[in-house]
Structures are given as C-alpha cells and as structure tokens.
Amino acid sequence: MADPVMDIAAIVNLIPHRYPFLLVDRIVELVPGERVVGLKNVTMNEAFFQGHFPGAPVMPGVLIIEAMAQTGGILAYHAVPEAKGRLIYFMGMDKVKFRRPVVPGDQLLMELTMAHKSSRAWKMAGKAMVDGKVAAQAELTAAIGDEY
C-alpha cells in the first residue's frame, strides 16, 4: 500500500472527532475539491461490537455511513477553505444501500467524490468497500456550522 496522504495524527489535527467516534484511520488519496479515499481498520476492539451482535459481530450500517461522512469531511475541509476550524454537520443521506456485512478484521476502503459544492453546503457520492466488494453506498450532504 502507498504511503498515506494523511496519517492519523494529521486526521485528528483536522477533524474534531475522537475515540470512540473517530472512524477513519488514514487517507490514501486526496484530490482537493474532487475526491478522497480513506481507510478504516475494523477490529474486534470496537466498543459497538459488544452489543452488535454478541457472538456474531457486525459493524452497524449507520457507523459505516458515518465513517464515509468523516472521510468526506476531510475532502470538504480541503475543498472549502472557510470550513477550517468549524464543525461540519451532516444534513442528509440519499440512495443509501447496504450490500454486505462488515466484520472484525475487515479493512473498509471509503471512496467519495464531490458531486455539488456551494460556499456553505455540498453533496458527495461515495461507497465503502471491503476486499474490492461494495459494502455500502450513499449520497451524503453536509454544511459548514459553528467554530469548534
């Protein structure tokens, strides 16, 4: 695998999410204003596996979408200069589909592309894959909020 464009230290320097809700470990590709590719290593140590589901751990679909949104947020912070130092709020999800379960040991590869951008809001199309197979896909809308 190629060297990361952003490692975890750079990610936590940019987005406000922290444990247990930081769901992107590395950015491997970033074309500002156009495209981002991020990784999430899914381990049995994730707190949500205690209850989802005992004996048959599956990453909740909403957390897969959140991981995609955080990856997309990194794209947004690079695409919209006035977003730096401000919160980015999730506004909507469209065309969400879950295609396969994500389980401990999987590496989630999240690819998002900018579909529409204005000065305060944008829409991204994305997919999350495991071993080259789509696990989830969605169109995500977000907006710039308050300073953090």
Active site residues: 52
Coil, helix or strand at residue 146: strand
Tokens 């049995």 label which residue? 44
Strand order in the sheet with 86-98: 26-31, 35-41, 107-117, 121-130, 133-147, 86-98
Q: What is the CA radius of gyration of the chain?
A: 15
Query: Got the DSSP string for 14-58?
Result: HS---TTS----EEEEEETTTEEEEEEE--TT-GGGGTS-TTS--
Cα separation, 78 vs 147, in Å, equals 16
Query: What phi and psi, each to the nearest 5 degrees, are found at residue 46?
Result: -65, 130
